[in-house]
Structure 1
């Protein structure tokens, strides 16, 4: 019968370094909390503080279609349709998250969302029913463009 070893295979120095890192993270978190440092500013708060104005805004309702496309009712204008494969993944993903928030609060899909272009170049999608705001600039130019196109007036592309 061979001897079975229970020797620790992680070097003691590595364990001490991990303990120091965990302790440092906890100490920094406690220091920030005790100092009551505000969290990083959100784009919404930064725009409000700087007085950045909205330059365009649209009220929109989103509906999934059986073929995988997305029908977008642009209130006061012609509807837009995003055909399957044309950036539907990003639009559908954002709208799924917004719809989930509404379902958790017992809100249907009747109230429109608000798409807003800001003077500082920002683009946001907000849900006035829940107060949730998604800043669309952080998702890359192509994904931002999928929503920015919905601000255009006239016949849908």
Structure 2
């Protein structure tokens, strides 16, 4: 019991997380809870929300994504817009998984069309009229946004 190695381990364990650091972490947690409680009690508006913008361009599309990243995009009437390889359609196929998850929650079929829109400020978004789900594409990087921007302007492929 009075083993010097045991005492050394106990002393070292006490020093692994300094008391000051633990108190600072506790303070941050309490401060976050106070801020959130204040915002809820005073009914403050959501300030991190994009301001409402008018839609200047829109296209109804159906997106079918594969797990390997390939994607097939049809217009609202079922005509082929793009048949993308796994290298070209990875992000688009990934968005179909997020969309499918939202649709599964409310029991909407995956083949229902979504709206690809451009707002007046130039930002793109996917809007699912069936669930109310919306994804602003600005947060996914320029390359991923450009993939959807191409779909907005790609003509119908004759096949």
Alignment-derived partner of residue 133 in structure 1: 134
* TM-score normalised to structure 2 length: 0.80
Write the distance in 2 (CA, Å) between the matches of 1:66 and 1:93: 8
Of 59-68 and 106-115, the range deviating more from structure 2: 59-68
Q: In the alignment, which of 75, 80, 83 is matched to residue 81 of structure 1?
A: 83
- Structure with greater helix share of residues: 2
The runs of 4+ residues in structure 1 deviating greater than 3 Å are 64-68
**Deviation of the 1:70 alpha carbon:** 1.1
Contact map agreement 1:74 1:80 (CA 8 A) in 2: no
Unaligned runs of 5+ in 2: none
Q: In the alignment, which of 8, 18, 22 is matched to residue 29 of structure 2?
A: 22
* TM-score normalised to structure 1 length: 0.81
Write the distance in 1 (CA, Å) between the matches of 2:69 and 2:121: 34
**Deviation of the 1:71 alpha carbon:** 1.1
Root-mean-square deviation over aligned CA pairs: 2.3
**Deviation of the 1:150 alpha carbon:** 0.9
Contact map agreement 2:65 2:96 (CA 8 A) in 1: no
Number of residue pairs aligned between Structure 1 and Structure 2: 149
Q: 1:13 and 2:14 equivalent?
A: no
Contact map agreement 1:61 1:112 (CA 8 A) in 2: yes
Unaligned runs of 5+ in 1: none
